[in-house]
Structure formats: C-alpha cells, structure tokens
Amino acid sequence: MKMTEEQRKAMRITVDYTNMTDKYLGDKGYSAKQLDSYKYTAKVAHEYVTDNRGKDELFMGWTELPYNQKEIVADILETAKAVRKKFEYFVVLGIGGSALGPTMAFNALCHLHYNDLPKSKRKGPKFFVEDNVDPVRMKELLDIIDPAKTCFNVISKSGATSETMAQYLIISDILKAKGLSIKDHMIFTTDASRGNLVKISKELGGVKSYILPDGVGGRFSQLCPVGLLPAAVLGIDIKTLLQGAAYMDKLCRGSHDFRKNPALLCATLQYAAMKDGKNIGVLMPYSDNLRYVSDWYAQLWAESLGKNVTLDKKPCNVGQTPVKALGVTDQHSQVQLYTEGPYDKVVTFLSVTSYKEKTPIPHGCENIPDVSFLGGHTMEELIQAENKATAYALTKAGRLNYTITLPEVNEFTLGQLLFLFELQTAYAGAMFNIDTFNQPGVEAGKKATFALLGKHGYEAQKEELDQADSDPAYVV
C-alpha cells in the first residue's frame, strides 16, 4: 500500500532520550556539553556510512535494499501465492540471521497464536523456523508436520553452514524415502552463482532459488529474500515493510547532527554509555509482538560490535553485551537488578502508542481495593502505565534509559525500527573504527566443529582438540 506523506508522519517512530540527561538523572546523566563532545565523532561516523553506502566489498549492500528489489519483490509475491495455495506447512531451515529475522517478523506481524488458528483464519500455511540442531527439536517437528504437505526454505549463502546443511540432509532423505521430489518441496536462498546449494540445485534440475546478495551479511538480511520470502508466505505486506525502511533511511541520511538523526542519536547515546563503562545494553519491548525483536537485535549488536582489533589493526576489545527483557514480564525478574544493581547498563524501551487490541478490564471485587481499582481501565492502559512507571523508577534510581516509540506495530513501523537499528549499529561501529560487518570469532568456532567431526583439511586442529579434553583433576 502506497502511503501519503501525512500517513508516514503519523506512523513515524520517535526516540526520547530525556532519561539519559543530567536534567533528570543528575550527575548520572549526560549534560548537553558532554553530548556535544561527541558531535565530531558522530559526524565522522555518519560520513563513513554515507560514503560507503551500497559497497558490496564492505558488506554495506544492505543500505540499498529498500530501493533495489522491485523485480525481486514481484517474484517473491508470486511464489508466496503459489506456496500458500499448495502447502499446509512452511519451514525455514537456517541459523543466525537466516532464522532470527523470519522469526521476529512472524511474531511481530502475525497473530501471536497463528499456528493454532484454524486454516480459515490464517493468511498462509503453518510456519516453523528450525534454528538449531538439537536432535529432539528436529524429531518433534517431524511429529507435527507432513513433509508431503510442506515447503522447506533452505537458507545458506555458502551452502556450507553445518547446521543448515545437516537439516537439509535429514529433510531431503525423508522426501526421497517418501518418493517425493526435493525440487518440488524446497526453495533455496543462497549465493547467485557460488556455493553448495547452487551445485545441488543444478543436480536436482533447478530448484527455485533466491539470491542472498554479496553485500548483505546474515544479520542485515531481513529486508532481502532471506526475510521477505517467509514474510510474504505469511501474508505480511513486504512492500510496506520496505517503505518503512526507506522512510527511516530518509530521516537519517540527510543529517550528521545526532539530535536530528534518530539512528545516529541512538548510536551516540550507546557509544557515550560504553565509553562510560556501561557494557550491558538491555532492550525491553513492552509488547509481546516485539519480544523477538530483542533476539534479532542481540545478534546484530553483539556480532557487529564485539571486536578485538580496529580497522588500522590496533588492539581494542570493544562491544556491549545485549540483554533481552520483556515488559511487563521481566519487571518481575530482572528490573530489581537494573534498579539497584551495578551502574553498568543502559536500558532501551520499545513502547507502543496504540495496540491493535485494547481489552477492557471489567469492574469487580469492589470490596478489595487492591483489585477493584483496575476495573474500568483497559489492558492497553495497564501495560503503558507499567512501561512509564518502570522508566520512572529507573530514572529515580539514576539509571540510564531511553525510549523508542512505535505509534503502532505494523509493517511500516517495523521496517523503520529494523533500519534504525541497522543504521545505529553501522554508526556505532564506525565510531569505534572497527569492521562492523565481519565475525571472525564465529568462524573460529565453526572451524573447530569441522575438525571435531572429521572434515578433510582440519586434521591438525582435530589433533589439537583431542589433546585439549577436560583434565580429570578439574572435574567434580
């Protein structure tokens, strides 16, 4: 749906950093002068991201995804229509960003009990994301789906992701055993011309495939076919999702003044907090629809910023540990720590102005004041009051916090939010002068796994790992 400028403005998400300032936190907050000291750093970061937009060699192709996928989106919509018509189940086989993004969008924009709805009330097939290699998980997925009625979306750029390809081998073996065509039951999302899934597709006579672009890393891939295909199958409006991302890009691209650029503001606040020893960043949505945004964000933030060397090869060890919390749930589990524990955190609230349901609370228990005061209000009022109260309590305790507000949760606002977080991450990485888009620490673990399972070429590392078994002296 094409939105007017007035509609876009009405759905604009905002960032309120009142509770990061000395006006409300005293000496625990930042003065205007302190924040101004980061103006130049923010300007340089903004220029770096702007100057390198779209450069595949720097893995910044994600910046152009809101604009360069018209034909791809049209093809995805046709494929999604066919999948909805033919299949009762749609299963994503992937890990990392290939799984977190589709899960997050599904939870945000579909009914919270989507898979439990009768077919007549769902916009698409039942949806599952297999993002682990726990053997129990795979077995129990197969207890509830019928492979003959399932489309499997295999997502791996290289086709060498051990977890995803183990899943592929299991599913393809089941399909063959049932006399079913692998080609007819699978869609690949992979590299354009290289990698194992390209080879497999050719061997199978051409599996329907979508491209994971060269300049788009896994954690930045939700707005390309990795995330767009599953979303479209579920009936999510992917065109409006991309419009939301483009709108946030427009808000941020034109200004290096962090007070006028929402993503640069968030990056500057987090950078200042990290410089001040706030090494834990809590993301706390007050919406069950947004709870998996925290999981998606945790990978984006941790994998992008956790680095031990700068671009000019100087040792660093930077980054901030992301922690996911859910309001109101985690007021009853984590907020005690945030309010009275160490001063090592900054809390980001995700708030919603208008929920898609209000749910009135009836009057009752009139002789019990602790209960009766709730009558006549709505659950929307209650969750919003608890959100405001938690921010107030943290502020009174001198704890850094700020709020990102979505007017409502829909495709346009989610697109904005995702692009804001992606730009925030790119800006923050530029501030630290690190490679925001690699993940050498992840690769080390992958290689050790290859060695342990006897992959050719890793024999020396296998021998080293065999010698590094637990010392019985330290096993209790």
Would you give the DSSP letter of residue 347? E
Instruction: Clarify whether 208 is annotated catalytic.
Output: no
Residue 449's nearest CA partner among 461, 437, 433, 431 is 461
d(CA 286, CA 405): 10
| Dihedral in degrees, nearest 10, Cα atoms 58, 64, 65, 70 | -140
Identified catalytic residue from 64, 130, 163, 303: 303
End-to-end CA distance of the chain: 62
d(CA 329, CA 327): 5
Amino acid found at 20: M
Identified catalytic residue from 446, 447, 455, 462: 446
Assess contact for 264 and 258: CB atoms under 8 A.
Answer: yes
Backbone angles phi, psi at 285, to 5 degrees: -75, 140
Instruction: Clarify whether 303 is annotated catalytic.
Output: yes
Burial class (CB in 10 A: 0-12, 13-18, 19+), 330: middle
Identified catalytic residue from 332, 340, 357, 366: 332
d(CA 412, CA 13): 10
Residue 228's nearest CA partner among 95, 408, 94, 77 is 77
Instruction: Clarify whether 411 is annotated catalytic.
Output: no
**From the DSSP assignment, how many helices (H) and strands (E) are in the chain?**
20, 12
Give the H/E segment covering residue 198. Answer: helix 196-203
Active site residues: 303, 332, 446
